[in-house]
Amino acid sequence: MAKTIVITGGAGGICSDISRGLAADGLNVVVADFAKDGAEKVAAEIRDSKGSAIAVQVDVGDPKSVASMMDQAIAKYGQVDSIFCGAGVMDRVAIIDMPEAMWDRLMRINMKGVFLCAQAAARHMIPRNEGRILSIASGRGVAGQARSAHYAASKAGVIAFTKSLAMELAPNNITVNCVCPGATDTPMSRIGFTDDAFKKREEIPPLMDGLTHKFEIVGLVRYMLSDAAKYITGQTYFLRTAK
């Protein structure tokens, strides 16, 4: 029986590649995104490639919407074996110019969204005594980032939440980990940069081949969902991050 994964933010950036990659591995993929048309597009591409996928519109900051996402996934596939909490937003604004509403919006999606999705997944996984919970964090959650203090704070929160939830769910045979992709060429990562400035970002390590490649991120997620990683929990994995 094929395993099922829910991927939030699955219609865009890194998460669309993860959706396609895991579907190619034979997983049932629930492409969950606030952008309904984008989710439908990625799910259709997967089905056109003989994979199994459905699209679900979700607002990760709304508990009712998250519960509906899980209900739709279970109704289609019977169970959810893993969840990848990838939905996120970013702004680049100096702290003295940052509206409170901007801080609240980002925290609602980046931090509260991970909490709500992990909570909903755990409620389904605990009775089954197994499951995998993965989230996207960032090296900026450790090193900080000027003009994106709220983003860095949210990712630091994801890292701490991951460590704490891993301890809590270990007795239920549920692993909880997060990945930090580093500088990756996505529309969100390019916010606030010219093309030249983006290529010179400080977090791209010297002596390495520039930006993180999306296939590297997909490969790490594949490993974290494999049997080889079934005893790995509470960990944060950094890809091509200098700090």
Domain range annotation of the chain: 4-238
pLDDT per residue over 150-199, tens digit each? 999 999 999 999 999 999 999 999 999 999 987 555 454 444 445 565 55
Going by pLDDT thresholds of 50, 70 and 90, the confidence category of residue 240 is low
Pick the CATH number of 4-238 from 3.60.10.10, 3.30.70.20, 3.30.1330.10, 3.40.50.720: 3.40.50.720
Please answer whether residues 191 and 90 qualify as being in contact, where contact means their C-beta atoms are separated by less than 8 angstroms. Answer: yes
pTM: 0.88
pLDDT tens profile 199-237:
555 554 444 454 445 668 999 999 999 999 999 999 999
Mean pLDDT value across the chain: 90
Catalytic positions, written as ranges: 151
